[in-house]
Amino acid sequence: MAKIPKPKNSLLFYYGLAILILAIFNWLGKPYLEEEKVKTVDYSTFMEMTEQKSIERIEMDENHIIFKGTDGQKYQTGPMMDPMLVERLKTSGIPFAAEIRETPSFIMSLIVNWILPIIIFFALGQYMSRRMFGGGGGPGNMFSFGKSNAKVFDPSTATIRFSDVAGEDEAKENLSEIVDYLHNPNKYTSIGASMPKGVLLVGPPGTGKTMLAKAVAGEASVPFFSIAGSEFVEMFVGMGASKVRDLFKQAKEKAPCIVFIDEVDAIGQKRHGTVMGNDEREQTLNQLLTEMDGFGGNSGVIILAATNRPDSLDPALLRPGRFDRRVPVELPDLEGREEILKVHAKKIKLTADVDFHTIARMAAGASGAELANIINEGALRAVRSNRSEVCQADLEESVEVVIAGYQKKHRILSDKEKRTVAYHEIGHALVAARQSGSAPVQKITIIPRTSGALGYTMQVEEKDKYLLSREDLENKIATLTGGRAAEDVAFGVITTGAANDIEQATKLARSMISRYGMSDEFGMVALETVTNQYLGGDTTLACSAATQEAIDRQVIALVKKQYETAKGILLENRDALNRLSDYLYEKETITGEEFMQILNQFPADDTPAEKEAVTIEPSEATGEPDDSETIYL
């Protein structure tokens, strides 16, 4: 068992140090504070003031003659061998006396100089403990440092079950085994099996890791301890380790039980062995490792932990015997999104026309938390429209609200800007429609959004795609460049509206070359590594400067090639581009069906055949999407 070092600086040490400073202050500083300001003069001045009778009173002792002038100033001088002093003072009529220094009683001195300052100091310490450590009120709290402040949930009050969690069937299957073990341990011990000591839930934010832990507690009907990893990290060295010991002590007393540590990466980060490392964090981690798999054992205590940074955790924490099982809680697929929407929709009133499958397709890539927000935004929109039920249009609009923000009704574009945005968005849609394998267009709009977007082209896949070919990725890049290409073809100028398109196209092209092995020059070589895959997926190049230069050249060439491809498609379909842009300029928002009805009037080579007038009724759907930079769902 790893020996945990004793805290270097305990709380008693700080209290003792403060009391010592207080004692030194009393000894050295207090006499100076108590003394009044006294002006020192020579004896001749004293005699002169006596003759002038400008002295009110005189006090003498062996070492000083202290007298107060009629001006209110207090003076002092040293005694002289003056046998006639008393006679002169009697003659002048000035009151004088030997100084009598009253000595306070021992008890009063003890109270004023020691007990009262100590009481004040401890009261201040109590206040500071509440501010620094979040301690609750009540007597004895000043001695509660190092106590775990985990929330303990009684099994009878648990309200979340597995039926309340949708879209994570594999995770629920893994965790249901834990529940079964807590209910029927003999079923497993009879065959010699033992349950994992720890289960680590990993996945992007908002996918339901914490909710899954609550569902396990609700299904298991056992005590449930919940604490965040950051609550272990304290200012004083050793406090975090003490909290870990206290948490496991309480858990063992209530075994069988579940301990849930949210955001465990706050205390479980890799130890680098640097001298300047956080000693408190390392001690806390060491204590957690010992408690999870030490000589003492923790029979009947199952640890659940959640994190979205599994790559940052210490290897000793992840080994079998501590966290034996890792349960991925990923973003839901199409079927999972549909089930999640249905779960959250149980608490609102819906019209009969609501199609969750369509909403789930539109919300591709959304997490469980975002899907819950979509349902809530749909309900809020129905309330704003003074309706008692949520309809399909409410939910479609809420998808766009969650992704791109609300419609910005007060932003008025000039006629030239509005027409430019219309060509930009139709450029995206037209390039996508003329390429094989591209997702069909769902909606196009040029109504600005609060996210800063001036227009929006929504493409929705019929089914989730998990593998993309080189052709698929090149088509995506061409579609992304279609907006800028349409501006160039129609007006011969380019604008800043393609900023997001350029960023996405460049990122995709770089990934093809440095991560996906789709470069003829480099082949199947990984030149880039991904860090924090659940938190944005930042990448780091792992190659020489010369190779980086070669990658940059290939990225530029790839994006430029697909831009020329998009431009060629638009030139071949110039009449369709003009007609669709005019229609979008007039209607501001059109559906994918409207777009395809007009496009189908133009053959693929754009020859002038059968271009009769087309009358299309506007869609009843009122959702308006987002940016002049295209957003794809």
- CA triplet 580, 584, 588: central angle to 5 degrees? 170
- Higher-scoring residue by pLDDT: 615, 113: 113
Q: Which of 128-137, 165-174, 548-557 has the lowest average pLDDT? A: 128-137
CATH code, 334-404: 1.10.8.60
pLDDT of 478 > 90? The answer is yes
- Over 50: is that where the pLDDT of 619 sits? no
State the average pLDDT over residues 14-37: 60
DSSP 123-149: HHHHHHHHHHH---SSTTGGG-TT---
Q: Quick: pLDDT tens for 497-511.
A: 899 899 999 999 999
Give the C-alpha separation, 220 to 257, whole Å.
9
Radius of gyration of the chain measured on its C-alpha atoms: 39
pLDDT of residue 26: 63
Which pLDDT score, from 0 to 100, does residue 553 have? 94
Residues 6+ apart with CB under 8 A from 613: none
Position 345 scores a pLDDT of 92
Please give the CATH architecture assigned to the domain spanning 36-98.
2-Layer Sandwich (3.30)
Mean pLDDT over 106-132 rounds to: 69
Using CA atoms, how far apart are residues 609 and 603, in angstroms rounded to an integer? Answer: 8
Task: Report pLDDT for 380.
Answer: 93
Question: What is the C-alpha to C-alpha distance for residues 22 and 28, in angstroms, rounded to an integer?
Answer: 10
- pLDDT > 60? residue 336: yes
- In this prediction, residue 563 has a pLDDT band, given cuts at 50, 70 and 90, of very high
Say if residues 145 and 13 touch (Cβ distance below 8 Å). Answer: no
Q: Which secondary structure element, helix H or strand E, spans residue 261, and what is its range? A: strand 257-262
| CATH entry 3.40.50.300 includes domain 151-328 | yes
What is the tens place of the pLDDT at every residue in 510-546?
999 999 999 888 888 888 888 877 887 778 888 889 9
Domain boundaries, the chain: 11-31+105-143, 36-98, 151-328, 334-404, 415-599
Q: Is the pLDDT of residue 104 over 60?
A: no
Name which residue leads in pLDDT, 419 or 408: 419
Identical fold, 334-404 and 415-599: no
User: Which strand (E) or helix (H) includes residue 68?
Assistant: strand 65-69
Predicted pLDDT at 297: 57
Q: What is the pLDDT of residue 101?
A: 55
pLDDT at 487: 94
Q: Which amino acid is at 181?
A: Y
Residue predicted with more confidence, 403 or 385: 385
Residue 245 pLDDT more than 50?
yes
Question: Exposure string (b/e) for 337-349, b if CB count within 10 Å is 16 or more?
Answer: bbbbbebbbeeee
Q: What is the mean predicted confidence (pLDDT) over 280-292? A: 83
Q: Is 139 exposed, middle or buried (0-12, 13-18, 19+ CB in 10 A)?
A: exposed
Cα–Cα distances in Å, from 300 out to 157, 246, 294, 323? Answer: 21, 16, 14, 15
Strand, coil or helix: 249: helix
Is the CB of residue 386 less than 8 Å from the CB of residue 345?
no
pLDDT value, residue 447: 86
Average predicted confidence (pLDDT) for the chain: 79
**Cα gap 577→585, rounded to integer Å:** 12
Q: Out of 425, 594, 624, 629, pick the active-site residue.
A: 425
Can you tell me the mean pLDDT for 294-304?
71
How are strands ordered across the β-sheet holding 589-591?
A: 456-459, 441-445, 589-591
- Strands of 453-611 (E only): list them: 456-459, 528-531, 538-541, 589-591
Q: Strand, helix or coil at 58?
A: strand
Q: Binning pLDDT at 50, 70 and 90, where does residue 36 land?
A: low
* Mean pLDDT along residues 262-278: 74
**The domain 415-599 belongs to what CATH superfamily?**
Peptidase M41 (1.20.58.760)
Catalytic residue list contains 594: no
Q: Is residue 578 pLDDT above 60, yes or no?
A: yes
Count of positions (residues) in the chain = 633
Those residues whose C-beta lies under 8 Å from the C-beta of residue 57, and which sit 6 or more positions away, are 67, 68, 94, 95, 96
The mean pLDDT of 464-474, rounded to a whole number, is 88
Q: How do residues 161-210 score in pLDDT, each as one tens digit?
A: 888 888 888 888 888 888 888 888 888 888 888 878 889 999 899 888 88
* Short-list 230, 211, 220, CA closest to 180: 220
